[in-house]
Structure 1
Amino acid sequence: MTSWLDGPLLGFDTETTGVNPFRDRIVSAALIGRGPRGTARRVWLLRPGIPIPEEAAAIHGITTAHAARHGMAPREALAQIGDELLAAFRRRTPVVAYNAAFDLTILERELERHGLPTLTDELGGPLVPVLDPLLLDRGLESGRAGHRALMNLCGYYGVQENGRLHTADVDAAATLDILAAQVRAHPELTHRSPATLHQWQAGQHRRWASAEGERRRGSGRPGPAPGWPLHTCEVATGGASDTSQLPA
Protein backbone atom coordinates (compact mmCIF):
# COMPACT_ATOMS: atom_id res chain seq x y z
CA MET A 1 0.00 0.00 0.00
CA THR A 2 1.33 3.42 -0.95
CA SER A 3 1.30 6.41 1.39
CA TRP A 4 2.32 10.04 1.36
CA LEU A 5 5.86 8.90 2.22
CA ASP A 6 6.17 7.46 -1.29
CA GLY A 7 6.06 11.01 -2.57
CA PRO A 8 6.26 13.40 -4.01
CA LEU A 9 8.13 15.13 -1.18
CA LEU A 10 10.33 18.22 -1.40
CA GLY A 11 13.29 18.54 0.97
CA PHE A 12 14.49 22.09 1.71
CA ASP A 13 17.52 23.49 3.51
CA THR A 14 19.51 26.71 3.68
CA GLU A 15 22.94 27.73 4.91
CA THR A 16 23.14 31.31 6.12
CA THR A 17 25.24 34.14 7.49
CA GLY A 18 23.87 33.59 11.01
CA VAL A 19 21.00 32.37 13.15
CA ASN A 20 18.60 35.33 13.01
CA PRO A 21 16.09 34.61 10.22
CA PHE A 22 14.87 38.21 10.22
CA ARG A 23 18.27 39.84 9.72
CA ASP A 24 20.68 37.25 8.34
CA ARG A 25 21.02 36.22 4.70
CA ILE A 26 20.91 33.00 2.72
CA VAL A 27 24.30 31.84 1.44
CA SER A 28 23.24 28.54 -0.12
CA ALA A 29 20.03 26.57 -0.52
CA ALA A 30 18.97 23.17 -1.77
CA LEU A 31 15.73 21.56 -2.86
CA ILE A 32 15.53 17.79 -3.28
CA GLY A 33 12.41 16.27 -4.76
CA ARG A 34 11.70 12.59 -4.16
CA GLY A 35 8.86 10.55 -5.52
CA PRO A 36 7.79 7.66 -7.75
CA ARG A 37 9.78 9.12 -10.65
CA GLY A 38 13.02 9.26 -8.71
CA THR A 39 15.03 12.12 -7.23
CA ALA A 40 15.70 15.64 -8.52
CA ARG A 41 18.11 18.09 -6.91
CA ARG A 42 18.74 21.82 -7.24
CA VAL A 43 21.41 23.72 -5.34
CA TRP A 44 22.07 27.46 -5.26
CA LEU A 45 25.09 29.47 -4.07
CA LEU A 46 24.28 33.13 -3.46
CA ARG A 47 26.19 36.34 -3.01
CA PRO A 48 24.50 37.36 0.26
CA GLY A 49 25.33 41.06 -0.03
CA ILE A 50 26.97 41.21 3.41
CA PRO A 51 30.18 39.66 4.75
CA ILE A 52 29.85 36.06 5.89
CA PRO A 53 31.09 35.93 9.50
CA GLU A 54 34.03 33.63 10.12
CA GLU A 55 32.05 31.57 12.64
CA ALA A 56 29.34 30.94 10.04
CA ALA A 57 31.88 30.08 7.33
CA ALA A 58 33.50 27.63 9.74
CA ILE A 59 30.19 25.75 9.92
CA HIS A 60 29.15 25.58 6.27
CA GLY A 61 32.51 26.17 4.60
CA ILE A 62 31.47 29.11 2.40
CA THR A 63 33.58 32.24 2.72
CA THR A 64 32.74 35.76 1.62
CA ALA A 65 35.35 35.54 -1.13
CA HIS A 66 34.03 32.22 -2.44
CA ALA A 67 30.44 33.46 -2.51
CA ALA A 68 31.47 36.69 -4.24
CA ARG A 69 33.41 34.78 -6.89
CA HIS A 70 30.98 31.92 -7.57
CA GLY A 71 27.57 32.95 -6.21
CA MET A 72 24.45 34.02 -8.07
CA ALA A 73 22.85 37.43 -7.73
CA PRO A 74 20.58 36.93 -4.71
CA ARG A 75 17.41 38.29 -6.34
CA GLU A 76 17.70 35.82 -9.23
CA ALA A 77 18.42 32.85 -6.97
CA LEU A 78 15.70 33.74 -4.47
CA ALA A 79 13.13 34.06 -7.25
CA GLN A 80 14.02 30.56 -8.46
CA ILE A 81 13.89 29.06 -4.97
CA GLY A 82 10.59 30.78 -4.26
CA ASP A 83 9.06 29.58 -7.53
CA GLU A 84 9.99 25.95 -6.80
CA LEU A 85 8.54 26.06 -3.29
CA LEU A 86 5.45 27.93 -4.43
CA ALA A 87 4.73 25.24 -7.02
CA ALA A 88 5.09 22.55 -4.34
CA PHE A 89 2.73 24.28 -1.91
CA ARG A 90 0.17 24.84 -4.67
CA ARG A 91 0.27 21.10 -5.47
CA ARG A 92 0.02 20.33 -1.73
CA THR A 93 3.36 18.52 -1.96
CA PRO A 94 4.78 18.24 1.57
CA VAL A 95 7.82 20.45 2.08
CA VAL A 96 10.21 18.64 4.41
CA ALA A 97 12.68 20.76 6.40
CA TYR A 98 14.54 20.30 9.67
CA ASN A 99 13.74 23.25 11.97
CA ALA A 100 11.49 24.43 9.14
CA ALA A 101 10.49 27.73 10.73
CA PHE A 102 14.04 29.01 10.44
CA ASP A 103 14.48 28.18 6.74
CA LEU A 104 11.01 29.33 5.68
CA THR A 105 11.19 32.53 7.72
CA ILE A 106 14.58 33.55 6.39
CA LEU A 107 13.41 32.84 2.84
CA GLU A 108 10.27 34.97 3.31
CA ARG A 109 12.30 37.85 4.70
CA GLU A 110 14.88 37.56 1.90
CA LEU A 111 12.16 37.63 -0.76
CA GLU A 112 10.72 40.71 0.91
CA ARG A 113 14.15 42.34 1.19
CA HIS A 114 14.75 41.97 -2.55
CA GLY A 115 11.34 43.24 -3.60
CA LEU A 116 9.94 39.83 -4.52
CA PRO A 117 6.52 38.52 -3.51
CA THR A 118 6.65 36.23 -0.49
CA LEU A 119 5.24 32.73 -0.54
CA THR A 120 2.42 33.73 1.79
CA ASP A 121 1.58 36.67 -0.46
CA GLU A 122 1.46 34.44 -3.51
CA LEU A 123 -0.55 31.73 -1.79
CA GLY A 124 -2.85 34.12 -0.02
CA GLY A 125 -2.64 31.96 3.08
CA PRO A 126 -0.42 29.74 5.22
CA LEU A 127 2.38 27.47 4.01
CA VAL A 128 0.81 24.00 4.19
CA PRO A 129 1.80 21.21 4.45
CA VAL A 130 5.22 21.29 6.09
CA LEU A 131 6.79 18.23 7.70
CA ASP A 132 9.57 18.92 10.20
CA PRO A 133 11.48 15.90 11.59
CA LEU A 134 12.64 18.01 14.54
CA LEU A 135 9.06 18.62 15.69
CA LEU A 136 8.02 15.07 14.88
CA ASP A 137 10.88 13.83 17.05
CA ARG A 138 9.97 16.15 19.92
CA GLY A 139 6.43 14.81 19.88
CA LEU A 140 7.10 11.14 19.18
CA GLU A 141 10.19 10.78 21.36
CA SER A 142 9.46 13.36 24.04
CA GLY A 143 10.94 11.23 26.82
CA ARG A 144 14.36 10.92 25.22
CA ALA A 145 17.12 13.00 26.79
CA GLY A 146 19.86 14.69 24.82
CA HIS A 147 20.20 17.13 21.95
CA ARG A 148 18.10 17.03 18.81
CA ALA A 149 20.40 18.69 16.29
CA LEU A 150 20.33 17.22 12.79
CA MET A 151 23.45 15.14 13.42
CA ASN A 152 21.89 13.78 16.64
CA LEU A 153 18.77 12.69 14.77
CA CYS A 154 20.91 11.07 12.08
CA GLY A 155 22.58 9.03 14.79
CA TYR A 156 19.39 8.15 16.61
CA TYR A 157 17.49 7.06 13.50
CA GLY A 158 20.46 5.32 11.88
CA VAL A 159 20.73 7.71 8.93
CA GLN A 160 24.11 7.70 7.20
CA GLU A 161 24.53 11.11 5.65
CA ASN A 162 26.12 11.09 2.20
CA GLY A 163 28.54 13.97 2.50
CA ARG A 164 29.32 16.82 4.90
CA LEU A 165 26.49 17.98 7.14
CA HIS A 166 25.92 21.75 7.11
CA THR A 167 25.99 21.56 3.32
CA ALA A 168 22.51 22.47 2.09
CA ASP A 169 21.94 19.49 -0.23
CA VAL A 170 23.41 16.99 2.25
CA ASP A 171 21.22 18.37 5.04
CA ALA A 172 18.10 18.31 2.85
CA ALA A 173 18.76 14.69 1.86
CA ALA A 174 19.45 13.69 5.46
CA THR A 175 16.21 15.36 6.55
CA LEU A 176 14.23 13.31 4.04
CA ASP A 177 16.00 10.15 5.22
CA ILE A 178 15.22 10.94 8.86
CA LEU A 179 11.55 11.41 8.00
CA ALA A 180 11.51 7.99 6.32
CA ALA A 181 13.17 6.44 9.37
CA GLN A 182 10.65 8.10 11.67
CA VAL A 183 7.81 6.58 9.67
CA ARG A 184 9.43 3.16 9.89
CA ALA A 185 9.68 3.57 13.67
CA HIS A 186 6.16 5.05 13.93
CA PRO A 187 4.09 3.65 11.04
CA GLU A 188 0.99 5.28 12.49
CA LEU A 189 2.25 8.53 10.95
CA THR A 190 1.06 7.34 7.56
CA HIS A 191 -2.47 7.04 8.94
CA ARG A 192 -2.58 10.84 9.18
CA SER A 193 -2.52 13.17 6.22
CA PRO A 194 0.37 15.64 5.83
CA ALA A 195 -2.11 18.46 6.51
CA THR A 196 -3.18 16.81 9.78
CA LEU A 197 0.45 16.25 10.76
CA HIS A 198 1.15 19.89 9.95
CA GLN A 199 -1.44 21.02 12.50
CA TRP A 200 -0.15 18.52 15.07
CA GLN A 201 3.38 19.87 14.66
CA ALA A 202 2.16 23.44 15.15
CA GLY A 203 0.73 22.32 18.48
CA GLN A 204 3.99 20.60 19.37
CA HIS A 205 5.88 23.81 18.70
CA ARG A 206 3.54 25.86 20.88
CA ARG A 207 3.92 23.45 23.79
CA TRP A 208 7.70 23.19 23.41
CA ALA A 209 8.17 26.96 23.03
CA SER A 210 6.11 27.63 26.17
CA ALA A 211 8.08 25.13 28.26
CA GLU A 212 11.43 26.16 26.78
CA GLY A 213 10.65 29.84 27.34
CA GLU A 214 10.05 29.18 31.03
CA ARG A 215 13.31 27.27 31.29
CA ARG A 216 15.35 29.97 29.57
CA ARG A 217 13.86 32.81 31.60
CA GLY A 218 15.53 31.38 34.66
CA SER A 219 18.92 32.06 33.08
CA GLY A 220 18.00 35.38 31.49
CA ARG A 221 18.07 34.02 27.93
CA PRO A 222 15.44 34.93 25.31
CA GLY A 223 12.78 32.35 24.66
CA PRO A 224 12.26 30.64 21.30
CA ALA A 225 10.71 32.62 18.51
CA PRO A 226 6.94 32.09 18.40
CA GLY A 227 5.12 30.72 15.40
CA TRP A 228 5.46 27.70 13.14
CA PRO A 229 6.09 27.06 10.26
CA LEU A 230 6.89 30.78 10.14
CA HIS A 231 8.23 32.75 13.08
CA THR A 232 5.85 35.59 13.81
CA CYS A 233 8.32 37.99 15.43
CA GLU A 234 12.01 38.47 15.95
CA VAL A 235 13.79 37.32 19.09
CA ALA A 236 16.97 39.17 20.06
CA THR A 237 20.14 37.19 19.41
CA GLY A 238 23.80 37.93 19.71
CA GLY A 239 24.65 37.20 16.08
CA ALA A 240 26.07 34.21 14.29
CA SER A 241 27.93 32.95 17.32
CA ASP A 242 24.82 32.98 19.52
CA THR A 243 23.44 29.44 19.71
CA SER A 244 20.40 30.26 21.82
CA GLN A 245 18.14 29.99 18.77
CA LEU A 246 19.61 26.71 17.54
CA PRO A 247 17.43 23.66 18.19
CA ALA A 248 18.48 21.29 20.94
Structure 2
Amino acid sequence: MGWLSLPMCGLDFETTGVDPESDRVVSAAVVLRGGGRPTVRRTWLADPGVEVPAGATAVHGISTEHARAAGRPAAEVVEEVAASVTEAVAAGWPLVVMNAPFDLTVLDRELRRYGLTPLVDRCTPYVLDPRVLDKRVSRRRGSRTLTDLARHYVVPLYGAHSAEADAVAACAVTYKIANRYRFLADTPLPRLHAEQIQWAANQQEGLREHFARTPGKEHQAATVHLDWPMIPAPVATGSSR
Protein backbone atom coordinates (compact mmCIF):
# COMPACT_ATOMS: atom_id res chain seq x y z
CA MET A 1 0.00 0.00 0.00
CA GLY A 2 1.32 3.43 -0.94
CA TRP A 3 1.40 6.65 1.01
CA LEU A 4 -1.99 7.74 -0.33
CA SER A 5 -3.60 5.22 2.04
CA LEU A 6 -1.94 6.85 5.08
CA PRO A 7 -3.28 9.73 7.14
CA MET A 8 -1.79 13.08 6.20
CA CYS A 9 -0.62 15.67 8.70
CA GLY A 10 -1.57 19.12 7.44
CA LEU A 11 0.21 22.16 8.86
CA ASP A 12 -0.67 25.81 8.38
CA PHE A 13 0.13 29.15 10.01
CA GLU A 14 -1.37 32.61 9.84
CA THR A 15 1.24 35.22 10.61
CA THR A 16 2.00 38.90 11.10
CA GLY A 17 3.34 39.20 7.54
CA VAL A 18 5.01 37.52 4.61
CA ASP A 19 8.68 37.48 5.68
CA PRO A 20 9.39 34.06 7.22
CA GLU A 21 12.64 35.32 8.72
CA SER A 22 11.06 37.99 10.90
CA ASP A 23 7.28 37.65 11.01
CA ARG A 24 5.52 35.86 13.83
CA VAL A 25 2.89 33.18 14.27
CA VAL A 26 -0.62 34.43 15.07
CA SER A 27 -2.57 31.20 14.60
CA ALA A 28 -1.73 27.61 13.74
CA ALA A 29 -3.38 24.34 12.86
CA VAL A 30 -2.27 20.73 12.69
CA VAL A 31 -4.80 18.46 11.01
CA LEU A 32 -4.67 14.66 10.72
CA ARG A 33 -6.81 13.63 7.76
CA GLY A 34 -7.36 10.49 5.69
CA GLY A 35 -6.21 6.91 6.04
CA GLY A 36 -9.71 5.78 6.91
CA ARG A 37 -9.59 7.69 10.20
CA PRO A 38 -11.78 10.51 11.50
CA THR A 39 -10.25 13.93 10.87
CA VAL A 40 -8.50 15.31 13.94
CA ARG A 41 -8.00 19.07 14.13
CA ARG A 42 -5.87 20.96 16.61
CA THR A 43 -5.72 24.75 16.50
CA TRP A 44 -3.90 27.48 18.38
CA LEU A 45 -4.19 31.25 18.75
CA ALA A 46 -0.93 32.95 19.73
CA ASP A 47 0.01 36.29 21.17
CA PRO A 48 2.93 37.02 18.84
CA GLY A 49 4.45 39.58 21.20
CA VAL A 50 4.39 42.25 18.48
CA GLU A 51 1.74 44.31 16.71
CA VAL A 52 -0.32 42.53 14.09
CA PRO A 53 -0.25 44.88 11.07
CA ALA A 54 -3.60 45.99 9.67
CA GLY A 55 -2.75 44.33 6.35
CA ALA A 56 -2.30 40.95 8.04
CA THR A 57 -5.50 41.38 10.04
CA ALA A 58 -7.34 42.09 6.79
CA VAL A 59 -6.21 38.66 5.52
CA HIS A 60 -6.82 36.40 8.52
CA GLY A 61 -9.10 38.53 10.69
CA ILE A 62 -6.99 38.45 13.86
CA SER A 63 -6.21 41.82 15.41
CA THR A 64 -3.48 42.74 17.87
CA GLU A 65 -6.09 43.24 20.58
CA HIS A 66 -7.69 39.84 20.02
CA ALA A 67 -4.35 38.05 19.87
CA ARG A 68 -3.24 39.66 23.13
CA ALA A 69 -6.52 39.00 24.91
CA ALA A 70 -7.19 35.45 23.77
CA GLY A 71 -3.87 34.15 22.49
CA ARG A 72 -1.40 32.01 24.37
CA PRO A 73 2.32 32.84 24.57
CA ALA A 74 3.87 32.19 21.17
CA ALA A 75 6.65 30.05 22.65
CA GLU A 76 4.08 27.61 24.08
CA VAL A 77 2.18 27.51 20.80
CA VAL A 78 5.13 26.75 18.53
CA GLU A 79 6.45 24.13 20.96
CA GLU A 80 3.10 22.32 20.91
CA VAL A 81 2.86 22.61 17.13
CA ALA A 82 6.33 21.13 16.72
CA ALA A 83 5.51 18.32 19.14
CA SER A 84 2.31 17.49 17.22
CA VAL A 85 4.15 17.43 13.90
CA THR A 86 6.93 15.28 15.37
CA GLU A 87 4.40 12.75 16.65
CA ALA A 88 2.78 12.46 13.21
CA VAL A 89 6.14 12.11 11.48
CA ALA A 90 7.16 9.39 13.94
CA ALA A 91 4.01 7.51 12.91
CA GLY A 92 5.25 7.55 9.31
CA TRP A 93 2.69 10.01 7.98
CA PRO A 94 3.49 12.61 5.31
CA LEU A 95 3.53 16.27 6.32
CA VAL A 96 1.41 18.38 3.96
CA VAL A 97 2.34 22.06 3.80
CA MET A 98 1.14 24.45 1.12
CA ASN A 99 4.12 26.60 0.07
CA ALA A 100 6.28 24.70 2.55
CA PRO A 101 9.30 27.05 2.49
CA PHE A 102 7.20 29.76 4.09
CA ASP A 103 5.45 27.84 6.88
CA LEU A 104 8.34 25.55 7.77
CA THR A 105 10.76 28.46 7.82
CA VAL A 106 8.39 30.41 10.07
CA LEU A 107 8.22 27.44 12.44
CA ASP A 108 11.98 27.01 12.43
CA ARG A 109 12.68 30.68 13.17
CA GLU A 110 10.05 30.87 15.88
CA LEU A 111 11.45 27.80 17.64
CA ARG A 112 14.95 29.24 17.47
CA ARG A 113 13.70 32.66 18.58
CA TYR A 114 12.47 31.18 21.86
CA GLY A 115 15.44 28.87 22.40
CA LEU A 116 13.43 25.74 21.56
CA THR A 117 14.59 22.67 19.65
CA PRO A 118 14.20 23.23 15.88
CA LEU A 119 12.03 20.79 13.96
CA VAL A 120 15.04 19.56 11.97
CA ASP A 121 16.55 18.32 15.24
CA ARG A 122 13.33 16.56 16.28
CA CYS A 123 12.35 14.64 13.16
CA THR A 124 12.88 14.24 9.42
CA PRO A 125 9.50 14.72 7.77
CA TYR A 126 8.62 13.69 4.25
CA VAL A 127 6.87 16.80 3.01
CA LEU A 128 4.17 17.05 0.35
CA ASP A 129 3.66 20.55 -1.04
CA PRO A 130 0.52 20.79 -3.21
CA ARG A 131 1.87 23.90 -4.91
CA VAL A 132 5.03 22.11 -6.05
CA LEU A 133 3.12 18.97 -7.02
CA ASP A 134 0.56 20.90 -9.06
CA LYS A 135 3.24 22.86 -10.89
CA ARG A 136 4.93 19.58 -11.75
CA VAL A 137 1.85 17.97 -13.29
CA SER A 138 0.02 20.95 -14.81
CA ARG A 139 1.27 23.49 -17.33
CA ARG A 140 -1.76 25.76 -17.02
CA ARG A 141 -1.07 29.44 -16.54
CA GLY A 142 -2.27 31.66 -13.75
CA SER A 143 -2.14 31.93 -10.00
CA ARG A 144 -1.66 28.85 -7.82
CA THR A 145 -2.80 29.98 -4.42
CA LEU A 146 -4.54 27.42 -2.23
CA THR A 147 -7.86 28.97 -3.25
CA ASP A 148 -6.94 28.47 -6.91
CA LEU A 149 -5.89 24.86 -6.35
CA ALA A 150 -9.02 24.09 -4.35
CA ARG A 151 -11.14 25.45 -7.17
CA HIS A 152 -9.21 23.54 -9.83
CA TYR A 153 -9.34 20.20 -7.99
CA VAL A 154 -12.92 20.75 -6.76
CA VAL A 155 -12.07 20.82 -3.06
CA PRO A 156 -14.27 22.74 -0.60
CA LEU A 157 -12.44 25.61 1.10
CA TYR A 158 -14.61 27.33 3.65
CA GLY A 159 -12.96 30.19 5.51
CA ALA A 160 -9.78 30.57 3.47
CA HIS A 161 -6.92 32.14 5.44
CA SER A 162 -7.99 30.41 8.60
CA ALA A 163 -5.16 28.06 9.55
CA GLU A 164 -7.55 25.16 10.15
CA ALA A 165 -9.44 25.53 6.88
CA ASP A 166 -6.24 25.92 4.90
CA ALA A 167 -4.61 22.86 6.48
CA VAL A 168 -7.66 20.70 5.73
CA ALA A 169 -7.87 21.98 2.15
CA ALA A 170 -4.14 21.45 1.53
CA CYS A 171 -4.51 17.78 2.50
CA ALA A 172 -7.59 17.37 0.32
CA VAL A 173 -5.91 19.03 -2.68
CA THR A 174 -2.82 16.84 -2.25
CA TYR A 175 -5.00 13.73 -2.20
CA LYS A 176 -6.82 14.85 -5.36
CA ILE A 177 -3.57 15.60 -7.20
CA ALA A 178 -2.02 12.24 -6.32
CA ASN A 179 -5.20 10.35 -7.12
CA ARG A 180 -5.39 12.01 -10.54
CA TYR A 181 -1.69 11.65 -11.36
CA ARG A 182 -1.02 8.17 -10.11
CA PHE A 183 2.74 8.23 -10.63
CA LEU A 184 2.85 10.53 -7.60
CA ALA A 185 0.86 8.08 -5.45
CA ASP A 186 3.07 5.21 -6.66
CA THR A 187 6.30 7.01 -5.76
CA PRO A 188 7.59 6.12 -2.26
CA LEU A 189 7.54 9.06 0.13
CA PRO A 190 11.33 9.39 0.54
CA ARG A 191 11.80 9.52 -3.22
CA LEU A 192 8.86 11.89 -3.75
CA HIS A 193 10.26 14.24 -1.12
CA ALA A 194 13.63 14.20 -2.89
CA GLU A 195 11.98 14.77 -6.27
CA GLN A 196 10.16 17.82 -4.94
CA ILE A 197 13.46 19.37 -3.87
CA GLN A 198 14.53 19.40 -7.51
CA TRP A 199 11.11 20.30 -8.90
CA ALA A 200 10.83 23.24 -6.52
CA ALA A 201 14.33 24.47 -7.39
CA ASN A 202 13.52 24.33 -11.10
CA GLN A 203 10.20 26.09 -10.58
CA GLN A 204 11.76 28.85 -8.51
CA GLU A 205 14.62 29.26 -10.97
CA GLY A 206 12.00 29.83 -13.65
CA LEU A 207 10.37 32.49 -11.48
CA ARG A 208 13.73 34.12 -10.86
CA GLU A 209 14.41 34.27 -14.60
CA HIS A 210 10.92 35.68 -15.20
CA PHE A 211 11.55 38.51 -12.76
CA ALA A 212 15.01 39.17 -14.17
CA ARG A 213 13.68 39.76 -17.68
CA THR A 214 10.49 41.64 -16.71
CA PRO A 215 10.87 45.44 -16.70
CA GLY A 216 10.14 46.84 -13.26
CA LYS A 217 10.51 43.46 -11.53
CA GLU A 218 14.22 42.87 -11.97
CA HIS A 219 14.88 43.61 -8.29
CA GLN A 220 12.57 40.76 -7.24
CA ALA A 221 14.85 38.15 -8.79
CA ALA A 222 17.22 38.36 -5.84
CA THR A 223 14.39 37.59 -3.39
CA VAL A 224 13.53 34.20 -4.93
CA HIS A 225 14.80 31.28 -2.83
CA LEU A 226 15.48 27.89 -4.42
CA ASP A 227 15.45 26.01 -1.10
CA TRP A 228 12.68 23.52 -0.32
CA PRO A 229 11.01 22.53 1.98
CA MET A 230 12.65 25.11 4.27
CA ILE A 231 15.04 28.00 3.91
CA PRO A 232 18.13 27.00 5.93
CA ALA A 233 18.69 28.99 9.10
CA PRO A 234 21.45 31.60 8.88
CA VAL A 235 24.73 30.36 10.28
CA ALA A 236 25.59 32.18 13.49
CA THR A 237 29.02 33.78 13.45
CA GLY A 238 30.92 34.51 16.59
CA SER A 239 32.79 37.75 17.17
CA SER A 240 36.52 37.62 16.50
CA ARG A 241 38.99 38.72 19.13
**TM-score between both structures, scaled by the size of structure 1:** 0.88
CA contact (8 A) 2:179 2:185 kept: no
* SS class of match (2:12): strand
- 1:205 has 2:200 as partner: yes
**Counterpart Cα distance in 1 of 2:186 and 2:155:** 23
* SS class of match (1:13): strand
Q: Give the % identical residues.
A: 36
The residue aligned with 1:132 is 129
The residue aligned with 1:240 is none
Deviations 1:70-90 (A, max 9, x none): 001111111111111122223
The residue aligned with 1:19 is 18
Summarize the alignment of residues 1-248 of structure 1 with structure 2, pairs less than 5 Å apart: 2-34=1-33, 35-123=35-123, 127-141=124-138, 143-161=139-157, 163-218=158-213, 219=217, 220-221=219-220, 222-232=222-232
Count of residues in Structure 1 that have an aligned counterpart in Structure 2: 228
CA contact (8 A) 1:212 1:223 kept: no
Residue type at the aligned position of 1:61: G
**TM-score between both structures, scaled by the size of structure 2:** 0.90
Deviations 1:7-55 (A, max 9, x none): 2210110000001111000100001002333211100000001100000
**Counterpart Cα distance in 2 of 1:180 and 1:59:** 26
Deviations 1:145-171 (A, max 9, x none): 11101111011111121x210000000
Cα RMSD of the aligned pairs, angstroms, is: 1.4
**Counterpart Cα distance in 1 of 2:204 and 2:232:** 13
Residue type at the aligned position of 1:148: R
CA contact (8 A) 1:225 1:232 kept: no
* SS class of match (2:122): helix
Q: CA deviation at 1:181?
A: 1.1
**Structure 2: any 5+ residue segments left out of the alignment?**
235-241
**Counterpart Cα distance in 2 of 1:195 and 1:86:** 17
Deviations 1:192-248 (A, max 9, x none): 1111111111111111121211221232223412311111368xxxxxxxxxxxxxx
**Structure 1: any 5+ residue segments left out of the alignment?**
235-248
